[in-house]
A and B are shown apart, each in its own frame.
Chain A
Amino acid sequence: MKTIHRRNFLRGAGGVMVGLPFLETLAPRKATAGADDTPRRFVSFFECNGVEMNRFFPTTGYGALTAASLQGTGIEPLTSHVDKLLIPRGIHMVPRGFNRDGTPGDDHAKGMVHKLTAQPCANGSLFATGISVDQEIANHLNDNRPALNLQVGYAGNNQLGYISYHGSEQPAAGENNPWFAYQDFMGLSGIDDVALNRLIARRQSVLDLVEDDFSRLKGQDLSAEDRTKLDMHLTAVRDLEFGMGNAGLIPCTLPDGRAAELEGLNPDTIASDSEFKTIGRMQMDILALALACGSTHAATLQWGGGAGGPIFTWDGMSHVYNHHKLSHGNTADDCSGGEVAGYLDMLFSIDQWFAGEFAYLLDRLDSYSEGDGTVLDHSTAIWMNELSDGLGHNFMDLPYVMAGGCCDYFQTGQYVKVTPLDYTAHDQDSPHNKLLTTILNAVGVRAPDGGPVDYFGHPDFGESGEFDALKA
């Protein structure tokens, strides 16, 4: 539970509201970024339905990556960032798919639920039974703000719709409206002083009322579950007051023209796939800004949902079937239709398209300078996928593309085999919870004793330790 009520701090200012966005005045600032102070961040760029495995990975052997390594692969559009890439190979998901660990859920459910949690699905709801790595990072580093979760296109509200979890069976829905997401952390910037003071006064009085109402409800002899539920809500309301950011050196605002485009988006297109690319670019602008301006240390960007995805009809693609159907090479989601001729080439095109979008995100992160490098240099942004080969719902040999050194925690420009086995597509190679543990340490999360984190995920399925071969 929260012990610091920043609300009291606000009152301590004399209860007089000043004509400034108080969000900025209250949030901790790190004005002088020394090496140890440099914020380090994690981004999950999350795709569903797997990739065209035959043409995804670098064509040169393990070791240094060059432009030639990516030529003709699904990740070729990342060539301009090749020096900042790190591609680990030989990682399988835990708990494992194909029912090898006897945990609930089909392989799409597992692919979505396990990927950031390394926890099995719950009996019944099939939601994750534990927290995800992005929220774990936020709990340690974000100063009471949850991780930023953004969604592009349609994702349902069952286990196939979520990758981020606040805790056991507490899925965190990704915001799919870029304008709302932007407003969350740009706060009240851009409003004139008179309107701002009015709004602040309204919010402060309402917060007083809401807090009093909560304290009346909590005055009862409540069950632990009910108390937790009310505390969660009250914490969320209090955190709103402090906005989502302005902790860094960069103002949390986009150029006016771009902000107007966000505001002008037709809300009817947001939950569907009709503006998949347009909204994706907007969400990446917001995500990069949120990291740069100190709003969050962890962010996820989820494209579509498990067993779904759009019909790609842009950037040279003119597909008739959606991503999930193509991943099975079939005209029907359940594989009972006919084969789609040339589906592997279509999947390859989709991979290259996502690689291009990931390159766009890396460009954005690289465009913000801070201290001795860029936001990308101080982050680990990871393109990850629900599955490897979508056709078989495969959980082995997962396609991960990492970018950014996270303040020299990682060696970059490398293609690294992390499994001791010769063969990477194996369910005894290296469990993915070790990557999650590595990420936690990379961004600076510490174990309770102050040392490195040794394990993340459910204790029965993974392995302890980090992927040392990825580290600088």
Chain B
Amino acid sequence: MATTGKAHVRIALGIGALLVSSGCYRGSDGAAEGGASGTEGDDDGADDGADGAPDPFCEEDTLPGKLSRFVRLTHRQYDNTVKALLTVDTTPAAEFLNDAAIGGFNNNADQLLVNNNLARDYRRAAEQLGDALVTDSARLASLLPCTPDADPDGCAAMFIAQFGHRAFRRPLTSEEQAQFEGLYQTGGGLYESGSDFEQGISFVVEAFLQAPSFLYRSELTPAGEGQDVVALSGYEIASRLSYMMWNSMPDDELFAAAEAGMLDDAQGVQAQARRMLEDPRAADPIEDFHQQWLGMSKYASLSKDPDMFPEFVPGMADSMQAETLAFARNTILTNDGTFTDLMTSTDSYVDERLAPLYGLEGEFGPELTPVSLDPAQRAGFLTHIGFLAGNAYFAGTSPIHRGVFVQRQVMCTTIPDPPGDADLELPPFDEELTTTRQRVEHHTSADACQGCHSVINEPGFAFEGYDAIGVLRTEENGVTVDTQGSFATPDGEMEFTDAVDMIHKIAESPQAQRCYLTQWFRYASSRTETVDDLCSLNGMHENLVEGDYNVKELLVSLTRTVSFRYRNTVEE
């Protein structure tokens, strides 16, 4: 294992710090112990022994990873849930204060907190939704399971039981039922308009939306005496499934499965996971994950030299993001694709802004149109305009940014930030330094830099065949671009002739596959992995390799782990 001369900054990127002493070479996953092979079929039944629970990916019983029992809805999940509950097209969370992100993902349970202003935001949204409902008789009636004419109080009770079940994602207790019926009774007169019945119903809704049992996915199944591991209830599993697979609340079928006990074993969970992936709602987390993993939020603030790149027109950031999101969605969900497809497919989706950058002829409009790109020139999302322009400068390319992205995000290599006093300015072009590659090589040639830059620069140079906005180029300043290189990976030295060649090799690299799995694990679990998860992750990885790393299978696998179906009661 190569080591680096020095670690500039003591910085940990998730589990990297746990397993890797320092430096830039080995990624988090490369250091993991070899995992047990998958043990299909013996994962049924809940063994709540003190030593853990059975995990289909581990030979030994395993402790689930620690997760809060109260994971707050993300803002995206809040909006989706409100839409589903109230059948209204609104996005109140757009005005909520942002959640902080950890490791690039804004759904880490540690940061999903409610302090000062967010409590106020929730209240404002609930009051506005209540005010809107009371003035919309047709919609209010459509939410009811009954007509209130003969027995308004009886109808309200039915509504509370049904709506409450959906809002709390479990049946209400009799105490809760009585409490909300009491709120219904006091509702008349609390709004400017509407009948007493309508005001009562609107008030019930307004209250539900502020209850912690709505705002958090609560896992209340108690632990038995001395029990280290608790099997989650069917309803708790249903919420984990729906918020992972859809970023929204469970549907009727999932609730029915929970009620019937069909989520009490791994087979039942898996069956629902597969069904849910065929639903259009599955697109939401796919888009959200890739948007955050690929750092697309920075596209909106990109600017490019208007003299050099007049074709980089206003609105390009939206097109760039839309293309890669459509690519991820269609590759995974429509085409049932693999990790290799994500990395190498030349299917893409372009509009009138993007088409000229890809050199495509023909008529294109403002909508995305499916196209096939030239496989000699492009391979998957790493050759999209979004990645290439998003990781380049105003007027030139940036091999360092592109290389760091490949290492950190795609290979899960631990790369510290440059030391604070590093000179970030490349030397100017001159007679000796005629290309960007030469400037980067010259600037990072010192031994102190090479520890990291020996693995950063080379994958970055592979992309020198694309300019600062992602257009193919063969020359820079009249000199043929040099896109060859090689870098060390835990799978061995990776040699390549250009970006397309490198990407095809990354697509088959166990390190990259395993990294993609790890990134999904973090997003889907709302937490960073720990040593306790390595056995599961290793077993999952081996299973997925046998299935060509199908991404839907990856998502289903994440619902089969011991961590998904159990919670850990051991206090730190």
Residues of chain A whose beta carbon lies under 8 Å from any beta carbon of chain B: 97-99, 102-107, 109-110, 123-127, 146, 154, 156-158, 161-162, 166, 169-173, 175, 177, 180, 184, 195, 198-199, 201-203, 205-206, 209-210, 212-214, 216-217, 220-226, 229-230, 232-233, 236-237, 239-240, 267, 308, 328, 330-338, 392-393
Contact between A171 and B100, CB atoms less than 8 A apart: yes
Q: Mark B1-28, 1 if CB is under 8 A from A, else 0.
A: 0000000111111100100000000000
Q: Is the CB of A170 within 8 A of B420?
A: no
Cβ-closest chain A residue relative to B401: A334
Known interface pairs A124-B528, A210-B210. Does A267 touch B95 (Cβ–Cβ under 8 Å)? yes
Q: When the two chains form the complex, which single residue of B9, B98, B106, B113 contacts A170, counting CB atoms closer than 8 Å?
A: B113
A-B residue pairs in contact (CB < 8 Å), sample of 27: A97-B421, A98-B420, A99-B419, A123-B17, A124-B12, A125-B103, A161-B100, A170-B115, A171-B100, A173-B98, A206-B123, A210-B210, A214-B212, A220-B69, A221-B222, A224-B571, A226-B70, A229-B68, A233-B113, A233-B115, A237-B114, A332-B393, A332-B396, A333-B394, A336-B393, A336-B396, A393-B420
- B-chain residues with CB within 8 Å of residue A392 when the two chains form the complex: 421
Chain B residues 95 to 109 lying within 8 A of chain A, measured CB to CB, are 95, 97-103, 106
Contact residues in A for B203 (Cβ distance below 8 Å): 202, 205
Is B222 in contact with A104, judged by CB distance below 8 angstroms?
Answer: no
Complex: A126 Cα to B104 Cα, angstroms: 11
Inter-chain pairs besides A205-B183, A223-B68, A233-B113, 14 sampled, C-beta below 8 Å: A104-B12, A123-B17, A124-B12, A172-B115, A202-B130, A202-B203, A205-B186, A205-B203, A209-B179, A230-B212, A233-B114, A236-B116, A236-B119, A240-B123
Is B444 close to A, CB under 8 A?
Answer: no
From A157, which residue of chain B is reached at the shortest CB distance?
B98
**Cβ of A205 to closest chain B Cβ, rounded Å:** 6
Residue of A nearest to B13 (CB): A124
Among B188-196, B233-241, B338-346, the stretch in contact with A:
B188-196
Residues of A within 8 A of B103 (CB): 124-125
- CB-CB under 8 A from B116, the residues of chain A are 146, 172, 236, 239
Q: Output the nearest chain B residue to A158 by Cβ-Cβ distance.
A: B101
Q: Which A residues are in CB contact (< 8 Å) with B183?
A: 205, 209
User: Is B417 on the interface with A (CB-CB < 8 A)?
Assistant: yes
Rounded to whole Å, the gap between the CB of B452 and the closest CB of chain A is 14
What is the bound-complex CA distance between A419 and B100, given in angstroms?
37
Contacts of A334 in B (CB 8 A): 393, 398, 401, 424
For the complex formed, measure the closest distance between the CB of B433 and the CB atoms of chain A, giving whole angstroms: 13
In angstroms, how far is the closest chain B Cβ from the Cβ of A147?
9
Is the Cβ of B70 less than 8 Å from the Cβ of A230? yes
Q: Considering the chains assembled together, what is the distance between the CA atoms of A117 and B329 in angstroms?
A: 42
Nearest-neighbour CB distance to chain B for A283, whole angstroms, equals: 14
Residues of the B chain whose Cβ atoms lie less than 8 Å from the Cβ of A232: 113-115
The CA-CA distance from A184 to B124 in the complex, in Å, is: 11
B9–A105 contact, CB under 8 A?
Answer: yes
Asked if B211 lies at the interface with its beta carbon under 8 angstroms from chain A, I say: yes
Question: Contact between A217 and B213 (Cβ–Cβ < 8 Å)?
Answer: yes
| CA A332 to CA B571, docked complex, whole Å | 49
C-alpha gap A232/B130 in the complex (Å): 25
Residues on B with C-beta less than 8 A from A240 are 119-120, 123
Contact B418 A332 (CB under 8 A): no
Q: Are A103 and B222 in contact (CB under 8 A)?
A: no
By the criterion CB–CB under 8 Å, are B421 and A99 in contact?
A: yes
With A157-B100, A240-B123, A331-B395 known as contacts, the answer to whether A110 contacts B305 (CB < 8 A) is no
Q: How far is the CB of A35 from chain B (nearest CB, A)?
A: 32
Asked if B213 and A202 sit within 8 Å, CB to CB, the answer is no
Give Cα distance in the complex from A209 to B215, angstroms. Answer: 14
Question: A233-B113, A330-B425 are contacts. A110–B222 as well, Cβ < 8 Å?
Answer: no
A-B contact count (CB 8 A): 203
Interface centre among A124, A156, A198, A392 (most CB of B within 10 A): A124
- Complex Cα–Cα for A256 and B344 (A): 60
B88 at interface by CB-CB < 8 Å: no
A220 touching B424 in the complex, CB below 8 Å, given contacts A105-B417, A198-B191, A336-B396: no
A205-B183, A225-B68 known; A217 vs B396 contact (CB < 8 Å):
no
A residues near B11, Cβ cutoff 8 Å: 104-105, 123, 126
CB distance from B436 to the nearest CB of A (A): 8
Within 8 Å by CB of A98, from B179, B207, B417, B419, lies: B419
Q: Is the Cβ of A173 less than 8 Å from the Cβ of B97?
A: yes
Leading 6 A-B pairs by shortest Cβ distance: A236-B119, A233-B114, A335-B425, A98-B421, A123-B12, A107-B420
Tell whether, in the assembled complex, residue B115 and residue A236 are in contact, meaning their CB atoms are under 8 Å apart: yes
Interface pair B222/A210, CB less than 8 Å apart: no
Scan residues 58-95 of chain B and give those whose CB is less than 8 A from a CB of chain A: 68-70, 95
- Given known A123-B10, A157-B101, A177-B95, contact A212–B115 (CB-CB < 8 A): no
B376 surroundings in chain A (CB, below 8 A): none
Residue pair A222, B69 in contact (C-beta under 8 Å): yes
Q: Are A337 and B12 in contact (CB under 8 A)?
A: no
B118 at interface by CB-CB < 8 Å:
yes
Say if the beta carbon of B218 comes within 8 Å of chain A. yes
A337 touches B395 (CB 8 A): yes
A388 to nearest B CB, angstroms? 13
Tell me if B150 counts as interface (CB < 8 A to partner A).
no
B230 to chain A, nearest CB (A): 11
Any A CB within 8 A of the CB of B141: no
Min CB gap A331→B, angstroms: 5
Name B28-54 residues within 8 Å CB distance of A: none
Q: How far is the CB of B158 from chain A (nearest CB, A)?
A: 20
Cross-chain contact B398 with A233 (CB below 8 angstroms): no
B220 on interface, CB distance cutoff 8 Å: yes
User: Which residues of chain B are near A107, meaning CB under 8 Å?
Assistant: 420
Question: Which residues on the A side are within 8 Å of B126 (C-beta)?
Answer: 206
CB-CB under 8 A from B305, the residues of chain A are: 331, 337
- Nearest chain B residue, comparing its CB with the CB of A176: B97
Q: Which residues of A contact B190 (CB under 8 A)?
A: 198, 201-202
Q: B114–A103 contact, CB under 8 A?
A: no
Shortest distance in angstroms between A322's beta carbon and chain B's nearest beta carbon?
A: 8
Nearest chain B residue, comparing its CB with the CB of A232 = B115
A175–B121 alpha-carbon span in the complex (Å) = 11
* Structural contact, A162 and B420, CB atoms closer than 8 A: no
CB distance from B415 to the nearest CB of A (A): 12
Residues in B with CB closer than 8 Å to A124 are 12-14, 17, 102-103, 528
Whether, in the assembled complex, B127 has its beta carbon less than 8 Å from a beta carbon of chain A, the answer is yes
Q: Which of A206, A216, A333 contacts B207 (CB 8 A)?
A: A206
Tell me whether B394 and A337 are in contact (CB under 8 A): yes
Residues 244-283 (chain B) with a chain A CB within 8 angstroms: none
Contacts of B571 in A (CB 8 A): 223-224
Q: Which residues of B contact A212 (CB under 8 A)?
A: 179
B119 pairs with A220, CB closer than 8 A: no
Residues of A within 8 A of B467 (CB): none
Contact between A217 and B100, CB atoms less than 8 A apart: no
